[in-house]
Amino acid sequence: MGSQKLKLRDVKHVPFTTSKAKSMALHTLRKHYKHTETDEQINLLTAICAHPEQYRNDSIWSDVARELLPIAEQVQRRAQITLRDEAAPFQVFGRKLIDSNAYQQMSMAMRLPIAEQGALMPDSHQGYGLPIGGVLAAKEAVIPYGVGVDIGCRMSLTLYDVNERYFQKHHYQFEQALKNNTFFGNNVNTELKQEHEVVEHPLFKELDVLKPWHGKAVHQLGTSGSGNHFVEFGFVNVAEDSGSLIVPPGNYLGILAHSGSRGLGANIANYYTRLAKEQCLLPNGAKNLAWLDMLSDHGKAYWEAMNLAGEYAKACHDCIHQNLAKSLGIKAITKVENHHNFAWKEVDEQGQELIVHRKGSTPAKRGELGIIPGSMTAPGFIVEGLGNANALQSASHGAGRKLSRGAAKQSISGSEMKKHLKQQQVKLIGGGVDESPMVYKDIEEVMRYQQGLVKTIGKFSPKLVRMDKK
């Protein structure tokens, strides 16, 4: 790897408090990090500026940290925001499926003075800020970590009039299509040139935080993240009562994808979370719930950037589906899609506008279609929302983890996972034991706890799954 030398223009968005600190930091990078990727260098500098006290005794960064500390300590002396003594009430669905850490996180979130209403979905588990599966309605404020790092993480399912016999006969071609047209991970390297109007959005030139990431957004267009992100073929059984789906009942080939806004969304999230923490001083246990006032310049800018990240995530999904269909010569019948890491402006029953954060939660307004996946072997569900106000018109975003990645790697072997996949007649390309079907809750049980939130109108059974290579 060649030298990755940062210049002054590369760090103009890093919040140095003095020009001396900036100069010292660049000198340190050139000396110790010259072979580190530039975006990693920028992320490191941003972290040091945000928390110089953590680098006070660092063997490399102590001098830079001490230059930054006086101003950082002045900020810390500002008055902290006081939380409510008790959490505002919030509705819990499937309490027995939810661990205490996630429940306590939601309780903490409901002590925020901006929290108006909350709900916890049956797939919930611990996250940063809000738990995964947490829904929070706030007044005139947006919480970047209430949306999540992967802004616009979403599901998309396209149906095709292809039967299972045809799929089995041409299984090799379907497998090759996945291998040739899907790309995963942070260091994705694809020669497949993607085009979409989203990368020409004027906000890339107007908003300073987006300018450095435009090139990477172009490069990552049409790709998927790592972790639990996937693209897969399977078969969809549409019920007799297909509701808003408006297709005849029967069996259809489906392409199902799960991914978000890639590096673009992550950098937006981290940048505005840092700004929120600077302006909104919360006690230690609640720091990741820092918010931006929706009437402030930063709040308005985050909202614009968040919505662009959501459009970008949708564009990635569109490219994936189009590329696969084109390579196989199949035509779409219909498509169902939804975000599950996002915030929306919605009006409650009293007529007041609220910012509804759904972090790992599916929108479920009455008649609204969504997708709730299981695992690489468990079924996924096409659902129609019932508009349950107690759930903030929301539902789960999946089965939800019952084992952390570390616990999964310690307790599940590769051979166990392969055996399970074979039993379920599912072929996996890539993936690892940290995403094994055994790490997830029982999706059927999760669905039983939200019968008052959504109605099932279709069921997806995975057959051929592609994930990031392990």
pLDDT digits (tens, 9 = 90+) for 185-237: 876 666 667 889 999 999 999 998 899 999 999 999 999 999 999 999 999 99
Q: How confident is the model at residue 129 (pLDDT cuts 50, 70, 90)?
A: confident
Work out the angle between the directed axes of helices 262-279 and 297-328 (0-180°, nearest 10): 170
Region of residue 262 (left: phi > 0; alpha: psi -120 to 50; beta: else): left
The answer to whether 81 touches 111, Cβ cutoff 8 Å, is: no
Percent of residues, the chain, with pLDDT higher than 70: 96
304 vs 207: CA distance, rounded Å: 9
pLDDT at 32: 87
- Burial label, 414 (beta-carbon count in 10 A; 0-12, 13-18, 19+): exposed
Which letter does DSSP use for residue 440 in this model? B
**Tokens 């599940």 identify what position?**
412
Query: Domain map of the chain by residue range?
Result: 8-76, 154-295+306-339+360-469
- In the chain, the percentage of residues whose pLDDT exceeds 90 is 74
DSSP type of residue 333: E
Neighbours of 300 (CB within 10 A): 14
Give the model confidence (pLDDT) of 233-271 as tens digits.
Answer: 999 999 888 888 889 999 999 999 999 999 999 999 999
Collapsing DSSP states into helix, strand and coil, what is residue 300? Answer: helix
Asked whether the predicted pLDDT for residue 392 surpasses 50, the reply is yes
Q: Outline where 329-439 has alpha helix (H).
A: 405-411, 414-423
The β-bridge partners of 461 are 235
Q: How far apart are CA 224 and CA 235, in angstroms?
A: 21
Instruction: Name the strand (E) or helix (H) holding 122.
Output: strand 115-125
Q: Considering just the CA atoms, what is the radius of gyration of the chain in Å? A: 23
> Domain 154-295+306-339+360-469's class?
alpha beta
Question: Taking 50 as the threshold, does the pLDDT of residue 77 lie above it?
Answer: no
